[in-house]
Amino acid sequence: MKRCSLLLILATSLVFSLTAAADQPARAQRIAVLDWQQALMSSQQARADLQAAEERLSNDQSRARQLREEANALQERMQRDGDIMSSDERRRLNQEIEQKAQEFQFLMSRLQRQQQEMQQEIVERHRPALEQAVNELIEEHQIDLLLDRQAVAFVRPQYDLTPAVAEKLNAAQ
């Protein structure tokens, strides 16, 4: 008996909710996608900040290139002259190659960490403007669902807000 009355109540509430939904005018849901990072990096100010960050790292990048070239030259020398070198010379050359390789690895690791930190700082600095541009476009286009572009396998260009967000960011700056 309780089960029947519970089913009756559920069925009645379902009918009322369907009736209420039918009374509202049907509107197609508007879905869009956005590549947040591309939109941000397409803005002139973020690109300028990224370029300035790269310039700050240029000395370390030059040193890394130099270390790689030196290690390669030593390696070529070892292959070319290794047969005629004494065992002490080969050992010293191997140690020098190893030292250059370790210094190169350390420097590259530090460069990657610094680049990631700088990119994160740029993203955080520009996040408020990015969010404002996105929210304005959501309201303008009455978007119901905004998906990350990376999570979507295919999208037609007219549903991609990325260029519009980049344009708004550039206009705001």
Q: What is the pLDDT of residue 172?
A: 83
**Residue 113 to residue 126: CA distance in whole angstroms:** 20
64 and 109 Cβ atoms separated by less than 8 Å:
no
Cα within 13 Å of Cα(56), Cβ side: 12
Residue 158 identity (one-letter amino acid): Q
- Which residues have C-beta within 8 Å of that of residue 103, sequence separation ≥ 6? 67
CA distances 114 to 18, 37, 52, 118, 119, Å, are 56, 18, 13, 6, 9
* pLDDT tens, the chain, 173 aa long: 444 443 334 334 443 444 444 445 556 789 999 999 999 999 999 999 999 999 999 999 999 999 999 999 999 998 999 889 899 999 999 999 999 999 999 999 999 999 999 999 999 999 999 999 999 999 999 999 999 999 989 989 999 999 999 999 999 87
Joined tokens for residue 101: 């390789």
pTM of the model: 0.65
**Residue 90 to residue 78: CA distance in whole angstroms:** 7
Q: What is the pLDDT of residue 21?
A: 46
